[in-house]
A = this chain, B = another copy of it.
């Protein structure tokens, strides 16, 4: 196994924790013996449980093979006592030869300290020089949380080839294929909460839960963006309340209203008819929501895009046309083509007969 193969495998391992590790990062670890034969791999599976390094170490059956072994881990091993003891200390005690990490931990409680601790213990420590984009992508939620001090924002749009998300009547069931809808149910669970505007809630009475068996034991948190406070009185009897615990519902409004339902009500200031974006982000992060999956409607999409608050965009495009209906964005203040908001790094595939397009955040 080459170092690159080892780090690739560590990244693939790390991804297995998606949806369960918040507010921690996704981390994967691979251990190879002195001759670079694979010894073990592991990943951080759930917040509060063992980190990736410890999972990998536990998977080494014959500990004698750790003599001179090499550890590849996607993120610098932690040096602080959090929910679990520091991984750098655990590694320092072992007869391993080297530790290669993918990214330096941006968390100021760790940054460089894990590496220093290992180095001091005589291990060869280095930051991996390749796969940088893949490593950053694995860690993207955590990196946005740490660097921007706000939740990560993913946006999902389901539209036709002529850019319609619904007929003029609001009807949109179903524009996309069963395969696309299954993918949405998977993606919902990858984030801490699904976010929808009050218009979508009032019109569609959606469940917005993650109906994928992988999320069976995960709470289905949902955030309703409700600037005018129309949602609270409509929650009783709604599908939203039926399929989840009220404590997993967050209604964001300008003012709180008595509800007696046990849902969270967050107060966020309004500016020009919309929530002040950074206040909204702060309020949601203060509730422990480190990543958001925004499903519309146009008002929510537009207000977040205007504030450049989008870190990943998923667009499902059904190969059909409606000719008229709702579009997914309102005016952004773009006055010439070169002012268009541009996304980065497009990936595209098909899902059933739909096009599934994924972009990373806005350029610039």
Question: A residues engaging B (CB < 8 A)?
Answer: 157, 159-164, 167, 171-175, 302, 305, 313, 315, 317-324, 327-337, 340-350, 353-355, 357, 359
Contacts and interface: CB of A to CB of B under 8 A. Distances in A.
23 contacts: A157-B161, A161-B357, A162-B327, A163-B164, A167-B334, A167-B337, A171-B337, A173-B337, A175-B337, A317-B317, A317-B357, A318-B342, A319-B344, A319-B346, A320-B342, A320-B343, A321-B329, A321-B334, A345-B353, A346-B354, A347-B350, A348-B348, A348-B350
Nearest to A167: B337
A323 to B, nearest CB: 3
B302 A319 contact: no
A161 B337 contact: no
Contact of A340 (B160, B305, B354): B160
Contacts of A175: 337, 340
A162 to B, nearest CB: 5
A333 B318 CA distance: 18
A348 B324 CA distance: 24
Given A162-B163, A302-B323, A359-B319, A346 B350 contact: yes
Given A342-B320, A354-B346, A357-B317, A336 B305 contact: no
Nearest to A332: B323
B162 A337 contact: no
A323 B159 CA distance: 15
A357 B321 CA distance: 14
A302 B321 CA distance: 10
Given A162-B328, A327-B327, A321 B340 contact: yes
Q: Residue among A161, A163, A347, A353 with the most chain B CB within 10 A?
A: A161
A341 B321 CA distance: 5
**Which 8 residue pairs spanning A and B have beta carbons closest together?**
A163-B163, A323-B332, A320-B340, A319-B343, A320-B342, A324-B331, A162-B329, A319-B346
A336 B167 contact: yes
A320 B313 CA distance: 11
Contacts of A319: 342-344, 346, 357, 359
A353 B343 CA distance: 9
Given A160-B340, A349-B348, A305 B334 contact: no
A186 to B, nearest CB: 20
Contacts of A340: 160, 175, 318, 320-322
B346 A355 contact: yes
A302 B324 CA distance: 11
Contact of A305 (B321, B330, B353): B321
Contacts of A348: 348-350, 355
A187 B313 CA distance: 30
Contacts of A359: 161, 319
Contacts of A357: 161, 317, 319, 355
Contacts of A172: 337
